[in-house]
C-alpha cells in the first residue's frame, strides 16, 4: 500500500475546467472519500491519478514516486469504473481473473483461482461466476467490477461510485464489508461518491469537490459540524441544511450574507405554549411532513423561505399547523456573500462538542439517502 | 379512407395490436396487411420465384434455347449425373475455390490493417477514407476493362512497375495460365478491400474506449488488448463483410468476362464463366440449368451455415 499525492493538478476539456488546482494527500492505509455533485470533476481526478488523463499542470505521486508521466500499468493502481467496463466476451470468472493473468504478475493458476473465489464469496457473486459478463444485472456487474479491483493487491484502490447501482440493502451491506476489508488489508482507497451517507460512513477523511475545486478536506465529523463553505454545508446532511438570508435571521454582522441551521438544530415549540421571551422564535406553517422511518422531517414555510426540521418521535404535527420555531443562535453558521464561512470567536469550540447524537444516527441510516 | 371519429376506442383500433381485432368496413388488420404486401409478393413471384422454378424444371430436360422447335424430353437426373462426373465442372469449382479463398484472405488482412490504421483521429481522415473507398463505387465491367489496359504487356503500367522493382522482362499477366488467376485476385482485391475496411472500421469504432482503459489499468499488453477486446468485438462485423464478399466472389462474372473470359484455356474459368459458356456458347441449356441449381444450393447452403455460426459469434 502507498500514499497518493496530488500537487496543484489542473485538467480541462476545451473550455471546461474539470479539475482546478487541486492539491490533496491521501495517507498510507487511509480511506479517503471525494464527495461532490455531478460534474464536480471527481471522475476526472481519479482518471488523472490512474494515468488515463494527463493533467495540464501539477504533479501526481504514488508512494512518494512521481508518476505524472507514467503509463497506467506502471502505476499499480486498481480502478473501479463508474460504468463498470467489464470485458463483454468473458465470463465473470475470467473478468475477475483478468488482472491477475497479466504477464507481469506471473501468478500460478491455482493462486488465481483461490483469489477469484475468495473475492466472489465476499461480493456474493459465486453463483454467477460462469455467467457471461453481459448477462448480469446492473448491480451484479458493479460487484464484478469491484471484485476485479479487489483481487489485486495494488498500491492504491481508486473507486468511482462503486455502489451507485446497488439497491439500498445491498449497498448498506457492501459498505460495511468494504470498510472491513479496507481496515483488514490496510488499503489506501480513494473513493468517489455523490452520496453523503457513504462519505460519512466510510471515510477517514472527506474532501468536498465542487466545480473542479477542492473546497475542504476534513474528518467526517469535523466537515459536518464545521464546514468552511456553504456548498460543503449543503453537500453533507440529509435533510439538507436550511439557508436563510441574514436579514431574515436578524443578523447584522458586517460581511455576513446568510445563515444556516441544520434541521436537527431547529427546535419546535408547541404552538399554544407561550413563547419564552428570552429566546427568539418564529411562527412557520407546516407544508409537508416526510416520514422517513426512524424520524420524521417537517417542511415549513416561513415568509416564503422553506425550512426543514427533524421531529422527535413524540411530536405529532400535520399540514397547515402553525408552529413556533427556535434556532439556537450559536448553532447558526454564518456565510459571506461568496459562500465562505464567517466565524465568530467561539465557533470552533461549540462545533466540536456538538451533534454527536444525530450524526451517528444519520451515519447508520441508509434511508436518509433520499434527501 | 374509412371514416372514424377520433374517440378513444377508435384510436385504440387504429393503433392495432393491443385492442381486440375489430373489423373496419369488413377488413381485418391481417387482411389489410396482406393487401399491402400483395403487389411486392406478385412482383417477387414473377421475377424471382417463377424463373427459379422454371430453371429447376429445365434442369431435368434436354432443352436447348437455340433450337425452339426441338422436342423437349424429360431426362431425369441425367444432367446432374453428367455434371458431377465432369472434370471440367470440378476444375471450374476448384478455380472458384482458389479465387474465393485467396481473395478473401488477402482482403481480410489488408482491410483489417487499413481499418486499424485509419481508426485513429487525424486531420483529413474522412477524405482519406473516401478516396480509398472509390474503387468500390466503380462498375465492375469498367474496372475489368481498364485493368486489361493496365495489364498490357507492352504499354501497361503494371509491367512497368514490376520491372521497376524486379527485372523480370516482359510478361503477360492475363495470357499466362499461372498468372491469370492471380490477376483476378489482384483486381478484386483492389476493388473490394475498401468494403471490408469500411465495415471493420465501423466495428472498431463501436468498441467502447473504456474497455481499453480498464485493460490498461489491469496491466494488459497491447497485444492482449487486441486479442481479448478488439478481435471479439470486431469479429461479427468482419464475418458479415466476409459473407457478403464471398457470395459476390462466388458468383463473380462481369469482371472476369472483361479481363480473361475464362482464359487462357480454362485457367480462370470460374463457375459462373463455365455456366455462361455451357448455356450460351454450347447451348446445352438443360445441362447449364442443372449446374445453376447446384451452384444455388451450394451458395445458399454455405451461407446458411455461415449465418448460423455468425449468430453464435454475435451473441457471445
Ligand atoms: N472527455 C470529456 N470531454 C469533455 N468534457 C469532459 C470530459 N470528461 C468530463 N468532462 C467535463 O468535465 C467536468 C467534470 O466531469 P467529471 O466526469 O469528472 O464529473 P464527475 O464529478 O465524475 O460527475 P458524475 O458524478 O456525474 O460522474 C464536467 O463538466 C464534464 O462535462
Ligand atoms: Mg463521474
pLDDT tens digits for range A256-275: 888 898 998 888 876 555 55
Residue range(s) in chain B whose domain bears CATH number 1.10.3720.10: 78-315
| pLDDT for residue A315 is more than 60 | yes
Contact residues, chain B, for A50 at CB < 8 Å? 217
SS3 assignment, position B222: helix
Backbone angles phi, psi at B226, to 5 degrees: -60, -45
Domain that holds residue A87: 4-233
> What is residue B9's predicted lDDT score, i.e. its pLDDT?
43
A103 and A229 in a single domain? The answer is: yes
| Domain co-membership, A81 together with A175 | yes
Q: Which of A87, A102, A148 sits opposite B211 (nearest CB)?
A: A87
| Tens of each residue's pLDDT in chain B, 316 residues | 444 444 444 444 444 444 445 555 677 888 889 999 999 999 999 998 999 998 888 888 888 877 777 777 888 888 888 888 888 888 888 999 999 999 999 999 999 999 998 888 788 888 888 888 899 888 888 888 889 889 888 888 888 888 888 877 777 888 888 888 898 999 999 999 999 999 999 999 999 999 999 999 998 888 999 999 999 999 999 999 999 998 888 888 888 888 888 778 788 888 888 888 888 888 888 888 888 898 899 889 999 999 999 888 887 7
Cell of A174: 457492501
pLDDT at A270: 63
A41, A168: one domain: yes
Q: Would you give the distance in Å from CA A273 to the centre of its chain? A: 40
Distances (CA, A) of B240 to A262, B138, B310: 62, 22, 8
Which is it for strands A305-311 and A266-269: parallel, antiparallel or unpaired?
unpaired
What integer pLDDT is reported at residue B205 of this predicted model? 92
Domain-ending residue, one of A233, A258, A285: A233
Question: End-to-end CA distance of chain A, in Å?
Answer: 35
Q: How far is CA B252 from the centre of its chain?
A: 8
The 8-class DSSP code of residue A277 comes to T
Taking a C-beta distance cutoff of 8 angstroms, is the pair A6, A55 a contact? Answer: no
- A204, A233, A262 - which closes a domain: A233
Task: Tell me the three cell numbers of residue B269.
Answer: 474459368
- Contact between A103 and B221 using a beta-carbon 8 Å cutoff: yes
Measured CA to CA, the distance from residue A121 to residue B232 in angstroms comes to: 29
Nearest CA to ligand 1 atom 5: A13
Average pLDDT, chain A: 85
Q: How far apart are CA A37 and CA A199, in angstroms?
A: 12
> B142 vs A170, B23, B137, B148, CA distance in Å?
67, 56, 11, 10
Beta strands in A149-269 (DSSP E): 156-160, 189-193, 205-210, 213-218, 242-245, 258-261, 266-269
Q: What is the CATH classification number for the domain harbouring A294?
A: 2.40.50.140
C-alpha B204/C-alpha A234 separation (Å) is 44
CA distances from B125 to B122, B128, B137, B209 (A): 6, 5, 19, 19
In a shared domain, residues A196 and A300: no
Predicted local confidence at residue B257, as pLDDT:
85
A95 plus A23 within the same structural domain: yes
Number of domains in chain A: 2
Atom of ligand 1 at shortest range from CA of A42: 21
Asked if B267 and B44 count as a contact pair (C-beta separation under 8 A), the reply is no
CA distance B214 to chain A (A): 7
Q: What CATH number did the domain enclosing A18 receive?
A: 3.40.50.300
Stretch A299-324: mean pLDDT, rounded? 84
A206 lies in the same domain as A146: yes
| Together in a domain, A324 and A363 | yes
Task: Check: CB of residue A252 under 8 Å from CB of residue A265.
Answer: no
What is the model's pLDDT at position B201?
93
Pocket test for ligand 1, best of A33, A42, A190 (most atoms within 8 A of CB): A42
Is A353 found in the same domain as A269?
A: yes
Instruction: Tell me, letter by letter, the H, E, C secondary structure of B82-149.
Output: HHHHCHHHHHHHHHHHHHHHHHHHHHHHHHHHHHHHHCCCCCCHHHHHHHHHHHHHCCHHHHHHHHHH
The answer to whether residues A10 and A107 belong to one domain is yes
Residue A124 phi/psi, 5-degree rounding, is 60, 45
For a ligand 1 pocket test, name from A10, A16, A213 the mutation site with the most ligand atoms within 8 angstroms of its C-beta. Answer: A16
Would you give the DSSP letter of residue B228? I
B35 CA from centroid of ligand 2 (Å)? 54
Which atom of ligand 1 is least distant from the CA of A46? 18
| Residue B156 CA: distances (Å) to CA of B168, B185, B255, B291 | 15, 18, 18, 37
Q: Which three cell numbers stand for residue A213?
A: 475545486
Report the distance separating Cα B294 and Cα A355, nearest Å: 87
* Same-domain pairing of A23 and A135: yes
Going along chain B, which residue ranges are E strands?
A: none
Dump strand ranges (E) for B119-241: none
- Summarised one tens digit per residue, pLDDT across range A84-93 is 899 998 999 9
Question: Are A166 and A25 part of one and the same domain?
Answer: yes
Residue B149 sits at the vertex; the CA angle it makes with B143 and B153, to the nearest 5 degrees, is 140
Do A279 and A131 belong to one domain? no
Neighbours of B296 (CB within 10 A): 14
Domain end: A233, A262, A290, which one?
A: A233
pLDDT at B156: 82
Answer whether B215 sits within 8 Å of A132, measured CB to CB. Answer: no
d(CA B123, CA B39): 49
How far apart are the C-alpha atoms of B115 and B182, rounded to whole Å? 24
Q: Which architecture, in CATH terms, is B78-315?
A: Orthogonal Bundle (1.10)
Q: Between B191 and A165, whose confidence is greater?
A: B191
pTM for the full model?
Answer: 0.77
Inter-chain residue contact B218 with A102, CB threshold 8 Å: yes
For residue A272, the model assigns a pLDDT of 53
CA of B28 to the centre of ligand 1 (A): 54
- Bridge pairing between strands A266-269 and A322-327: antiparallel
Note the pLDDT of residue B14: 46
CB B79 within 8 A of CB B287: yes
Residue of B nearest to A72 (CA): B217
- The whole-angstrom separation of Cα A130 and Cα A123 is 15
A18 Ramachandran zone, left/alpha/beta (phi>0; psi -120 to 50): alpha
pLDDT beyond 50 at A357:
no
Pick from A196, A70, B263, B258: which is nearest to B274 by CA? Answer: B263
CA dist., res. A179 & res. A163, Å (int): 13
Kindly calculate the radius of gyration of chain B based on its CA atoms and give it in whole angstroms. Answer: 26
Q: pLDDT (tens digit, 9 = 90+) per residue, A333-351?
A: 989 988 889 887 655 444 4
For chain A, strand residue ranges (E) read 4-13, 16-26, 31-35, 57-62, 65-66, 77-80, 156-160, 189-193, 205-210, 213-218, 242-245, 258-261, 266-269, 281-291, 296-302, 305-311, 322-327, 333-335, 341-342
| Minimal C-alpha gap between A79 and chain B (Å) | 7
Closest CA to A185 of A177, A193, A196, A175: A177
User: Which residues have CB under 6 Å of ligand 1?
Assistant: A 13, 16, 18, 36, 38-44, 82, 194
DSSP annotation string for B5-54: ---HHHHHHHH-TTSPP--BTTB-HHHHHHHHHHHHHHHHIIIIIHHHHH
Q: Which three cell numbers stand for residue B228?
A: 481479448
DSSP A37-83: -TTSSHHHHHHHHHTSS--SEEEEEETTEE-TT--GGGGTEEEE-TT
Amino acid at each position: 500500500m502507498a500514499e497518493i499525492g496530488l500537487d496543484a493538478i489542473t485538467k480541462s476539456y476545451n473550455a471546461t475546467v474539470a479539475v482546478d488546482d487541486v492539491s490533496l494527500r491521501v495517507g498510507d492505509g487511509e480511506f479517503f472519500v471525494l464527495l461532490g455533485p455531478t460534474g464536480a470533476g471527481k471522475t476526472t481526478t481519479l482518471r488523472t491519478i490512474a494515468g488515463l488523463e494527463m493533467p495540464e499542470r501539477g504533479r501526481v505521486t504514488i508512494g512518494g514516486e512521481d508518476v505524472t508521466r507514467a503509463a497506467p500499468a506502471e502505476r499499480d493502481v486498481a480502478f473501479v469504473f463508474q460504468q463498470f467496463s467489464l470485458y463483454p466476451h468473458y465470463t465473470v470468472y475470467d473478468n475477475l481473473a483478468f488482472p491477475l493473468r497479466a504477464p507481469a504478475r506471473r501468478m500460478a493458476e491455482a493462486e488465481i483461482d483461490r483469489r477469484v473465489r475468495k473475492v466472489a464469496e465476499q461480493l456474493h457473486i459465486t453463483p454467477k461466476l460462469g455467467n457471461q459478463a453481459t448477462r448480469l444485472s446492473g448491480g451484479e456487474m458493479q460487484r464484478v467490477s469491484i471484485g476485479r479491483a479487489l483481487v489485486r493487491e495494488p498500491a492504491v484502490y481508486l473507486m468511482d461510485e462503486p455502489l451507485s447501482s446497488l439497491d439500498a440493502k445491498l449497498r448498506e451491506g457492501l459498505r460495511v464489508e468494504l470498510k472491513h476489508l479496507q481496515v483488514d488489508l490496510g488499503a489506501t482507497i480513494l473513493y468517489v461518491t455523490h452520496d453523503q451517507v457513504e462519505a460519512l460512513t466510510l471515510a477517514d477523511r472527506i474532501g468536498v469537490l465542487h466545480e473542479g475545486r477542492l473546497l475542504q478536506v476534513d474528518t467526517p465529523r469535523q466537515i459536518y459540524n464545521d464546514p468552511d463553505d456553504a456548498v460543503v454545508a449543503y453537500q453533507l446532511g440529509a435533510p439538507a441544511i436550511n439557508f436563510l438570508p441574514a436579514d431574515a435571521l436578524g443578523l447584522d454582522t458586517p460581511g455576513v450574507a446568510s445563515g444556516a441551521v441544520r434541521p436537527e438544530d431547529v427546535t419546535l415549540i408547541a404552538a399554544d405554549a407561550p413563547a419564552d421571551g428570552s429566546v427568539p422564535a418564529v411562527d412557520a406553517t407546516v407544508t409537508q411532513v416526510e416520514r422517513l422511518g426512524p424520524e420524521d422531517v417537517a417542511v415549513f414555510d416561513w415568509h416564503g423561505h422553506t425550512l426543514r426540521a427533524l421531529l422527535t418521535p413524540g411530536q405529532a404535527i400535520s399540514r397547515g399547523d402553525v408552529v413556533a420555531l427556535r434556532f439556537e443562535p450559536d448553532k447558526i453558521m454564518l456565510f459571506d456573500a461568496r459562500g465562505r464561512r464567517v466565524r465568530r470567536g467561539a465557533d470552533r469550540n461549540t462545533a466540536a462538542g456538538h451533534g454527536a447524537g444525530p450524526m451517528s444516527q444519520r451515519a447508520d441510516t441508509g434511508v436518509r439517502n433520499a434527501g | 379512407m374509412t371514416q372514424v371519429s377520433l374517440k378513444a376506442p377508435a384510436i385504440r383500433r387504429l393503433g392495432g395490436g393491443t385492442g381486440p381485432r375489430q373489423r373496419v368496413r369488413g377488413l381485418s388488420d391481417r387482411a389489410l396487411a396482406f393487401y399491402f404486401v400483395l403487389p411486392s409478393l406478385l412482383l417477387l413471384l414473377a421475377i424471382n420465384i417463377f424463373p427459379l422454378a422454371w430453371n429447376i424444371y429445365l434442369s431435368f430436360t434436354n432443352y436447348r434455347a437455340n433450337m425452339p422447335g426441338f422436342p423437349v424430353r424429360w431426362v431425369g437426373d441425367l444432367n446432374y449425373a453428367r455434371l458431377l462426373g465432369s472434370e471440367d465442372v470440378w476444375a471450374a469449382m476448384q478455380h472458384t475455390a482458389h479465387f474465393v479463398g485467396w481473395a478473401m484472405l488477402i482482403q481480410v488482412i489488408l482491410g483489417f490493417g487499413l481499418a486499424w490504421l485509419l481508426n485513429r483521429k487525424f486531420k483529413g481522415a474522412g477524405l482519406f477514407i473516401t478516396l480509398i473507398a472509390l474503387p468500390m463505387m466503380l462498375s465492375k465491367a469498367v474496372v475489368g476493362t481498364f485493368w486489361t489496359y493496365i495489364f498490357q504487356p507492352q504499354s501497361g503500367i503494371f509491367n512497368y512497375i514490376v520491372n521497376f522493382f524486379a527485372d523480370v522482362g516482359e510478361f503477360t499477366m492475363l495470357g499466362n495460365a499461372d498468372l491469370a488467376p492471380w490477376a483476378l485476385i489482384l483486381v478484386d482485391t483492389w476493388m473490394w478491400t475498401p468494403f471490408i475496411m469500411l465495415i471493420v472500421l465501423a466495428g472498431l469504432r463501436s468498441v467502447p474506449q473504456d474497455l481499453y482503459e480498464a485493460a490498461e489499468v489491469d496491466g494488459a499488453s497491447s497485444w492482449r488488448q487486441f486479442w481479448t477486446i478488439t478481435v471479439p468485438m470486431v469479429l461479427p462485423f468482419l464475418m458479415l463483410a466476409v459473407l457478403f464478399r464471398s457470395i459476390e466472389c462466388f458468383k463473380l462474372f462481369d469482371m472476369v468476362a472483361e479481363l480473361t473470359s475464362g482464359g487462357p484455356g480454362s485457367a480462370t474459368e470460374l463457375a459462373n464463366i463455365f455456366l455462361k459458356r455451357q448455356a450460351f456458347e454450347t447451348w446445352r441449356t438443360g445441362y447449364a440449368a442443372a449446374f445453376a441449381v447446384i451452384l444455388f444450393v451450394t451458395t445458399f447452403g454455405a451461407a446458411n451455415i455461415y449465418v448460423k455460426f455468425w449468430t453464435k459469434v454475435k451473441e457471445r
